[in-house]
Amino acid sequence: MAPPVHEAGPVAGNIWLQRLEPFPGRFDYALRLALICALTALVVEIYQTPSPALTIYLVFFLNKPDRMGSVIANLALIVVISIVIVLLIPLVMAVIDQPPLRVASMTILSFALLFLASASKLKPIGATVALIAAYTLDLLGSVQMGELATRGLLYAWLFIAIPAGVSLCVNLLMAPAPRALVEAEIARRLRISARLLVREDAITRREVDASLGAGNDDLLKLLKMAQLEKSLSRPHVDALTQASRTSFEILVLVDIMSAQRLKFPVVLANSLFDTLEEMASCLDRGTAPSGVVCPGQDVAHNLPSGPAETFKAIQNAIDTFTQTKTLSVLPGEDGMQGAAATKTGFFLPDAFTNPDHIRHALKTTAAAMICYLLIQLLDWPGIHTSLITCYIVSLGTTAETVEKLGLRIVGCLIGAFAGVAAMVFLIPGVTSIGGLMIIVFLGALPAAWIAVGSPRIAYAGYQIVFAFLLCVVQGSSPDFDLTVARDRVIGILVGNVVTYLIFANVWPVSVAGRIDRVAAKMLRELAGMLDRAGAAARLTLVAQARATLSTLARDMDLVAYEPMRIRPSEAWIDARRRGLTDLASLYHATVMLGAVETRGVDVLAQDLNALADELMSVDDSREAQITSTGLINGADAGSYFLDAAKKLIGCVGNDFRPHYPGHGPTQVRHARV
């Protein structure tokens, strides 16, 4: 039975501690990563391959939450690195005895691979491949014989093949199937929707925000993985695709109810709670809910206009929860259906027109080469980790670089402290490879817990395990040379600082442009949505927009990390925050939009398109007082959104019947307010 209805309480608690809280699947994923790290340590110690710590560290880049995604990532990287190694053989033979040519080849190869990492579908593994190629050429610089160089290239292949092979075996045995993750997430959405209907507390609010911010694309990609591994039939895939979409729509509708301070009667809320819980239980058992009837029909006809419109949408979502006949591909939808509808090439659409791809490759390569030359000039090979760090920590925007710099430094210090403590108190007593495996496992587990959590703290987890492994796994046998640990940690810090200085001062990229571009795109989508007659189509697009708005909110938080010389003014920041809040209100209002005169919708759509055009025409170098082409003179984006949102919300139900005299939304007159 549903719990009693309570008033919503405030969201409280420390945000950093909240990001460390457990969620379904977090411990299993972290445990799997730690186990793979320990087994990789066993293999590298048996085969005595060079750079064992870095080999183990690659485990964190080779695994996904699901079985099929991990298998594909492992196989893809093995294939790509095999091709790269074959192409490197003649290059190595040509430059091995000529240091200037070797450095030049490192630079060119690094730039080319990093460009592909930024501008192509190689993005998930491009930086890792660039790191391996450059590091291999660096290591072979001390080799003067062709036979040894060839053996070194084979070791470079093992550098990837060992962690990928171990990951492949463990994932096939232990990783959850994509289907299980999809069903569990859909059930979780239904349960938190049910809880939000009857009460709003801090935990439920955080879970709702996290689910909405994650969007629906990840579930659609998991379903594509399930189809690839042949664990689901096509009808079952279609049914779960429909369920993933409708469950997200139910969550959006309940969130809109909460945002608008609307409430269902207690009897109706409790009945919906029981229905959603029953549907979630079916998914827990691996069966699709069927024959579910939305309760409360006798109460719904007495609801006010706002809750009535929302109830109708929830009713439709429950009735069509797994009905594949309602499945349709909507424009702009990512995932399995969207990918099938729109075929794209290897390169991104703006690969050769957007200068940011070339600049990113140049900046990362420059940082890496500066560290490489610093190592050579100081004759300090112990800080070779600075070269590796540049490839690991490079990011697209200045704000992200600055934000993550603090996480990396903190993570490096924590990992180094844990590694040195293990060297002093544990390593001297290790007499077998089993003892080293246990140490690696215990060090990797908490780092993996952080790394698989919120993206806002994941970088700290990656840096913790990197520093820890560099300390405790120093060579072909357990060692406790503190000088090696000191040099490697210094190298990490040097690489972080050099990368920051390059990315903050050379072609700095602000997130402001990205915010305006995405906001303009959403305005155009909203304008197009108003022309859609079907409420279901509007709701689906609103659900997609909710995840985009969460991403934009995170980008707004990043603006504070930008240096003053590229950071927008406080007026710009305040206007965009208001604008995004009111843009969310506009999307919410379209869900509850009742009968509206066609002409009024057309005028509003024109205004939204005009605002999008003006938003994109603003020069980044000046402040924007965004207006709606004369319709609202002197208004910025925030006040315009607010004005339009209030008028759209005013269109809900029969009590608010709009009349448009022909001059845009500023002159809307209501019959009764």
Sketch the domain layout of the chain as residue ranges. Answer: 25-176+358-505, 178-230+232-325, 512-670
d(CA 616, CA 353): 17
Q: Which residue has the tokens 């349960």?
A: 191
Burial 626-651 (b: 16+ CB within 10 A, else e): bbbeebbeebbbbbbbbbbbebbbbb
Mean pLDDT of 299-327: 72
d(CA 487, CA 484): 5
d(CA 459, CA 447): 10
**What pLDDT is attached to residue 187?**
93
Axis crossing angle, helix 398-425 with helix 482-505, rounded to the nearest 10:
180
Least confident of 247-251, 295-299, 381-385, 537-541: 295-299
| Distant-in-sequence, close-in-space partners of 474: CB < 8 Å, separation ≥ 6 | 53, 481, 484, 485
d(CA 223, CA 37): 28
Mean pLDDT of 380-391: 86
Model confidence at 437, in pLDDT bands (50, 70, 90)? Answer: very high
**What pLDDT is attached to residue 536?**
64
User: What proportion of the chain, given as a percentage, has pLDDT over 90?
Assistant: 17
Tokens (6 digits) for 84: 């790269």
Model confidence at 449, in pLDDT bands (50, 70, 90)? Answer: very high
Least confident of 128-132, 165-169, 174-178, 466-470: 128-132
Model confidence at 36, in pLDDT bands (50, 70, 90)? Answer: very high
Mean pLDDT of 119-132: 80
Query: Which of residues 471 and 595 earns the better pLDDT score?
Result: 471
**What pLDDT is attached to residue 189?**
92
User: What proportion of the chain, given as a percentage, has pLDDT over 70?
Assistant: 78
pTM above 0.85, yes or no: no
Model confidence at 662, in pLDDT bands (50, 70, 90)? Answer: very low
- Cα-based angle 323, 545, 616 (whole degrees, multiple of 5): 145
Task: Indicate if the pLDDT at residue 170 is higher than 90.
Answer: yes
Please tell me what DSSP assigns to residue 566.
T
565: helix, strand or coil: coil
Model confidence at 185, in pLDDT bands (50, 70, 90)? Answer: very high
Kindly report the three-state secondary structure assignment for every residue of 186-248.
HHHHHHHHHHHHHCCCHHHHHHHHHHHHHCCHHHHHHHHHHHHCCCCCHHHHHHHHHHHHHHH
Query: Are 451 and 462 in contact, with CB atoms under 8 Å apart?
Result: yes
Task: Indicate if the pLDDT at residue 596 is higher than 50.
Answer: no
Quickly list H helices, 506-534: 512-530
**What pLDDT is attached to residue 459?**
85
Model confidence at 40, in pLDDT bands (50, 70, 90)? Answer: very high
**What pLDDT is attached to residue 542?**
77
Provide the CA 595 distance to its chain's centre, in angstroms.
Answer: 38
φ, ψ at 670 (rounded to 5°): -105, 145
Query: Which of residues 662 and 510 earns the better pLDDT score?
Result: 510
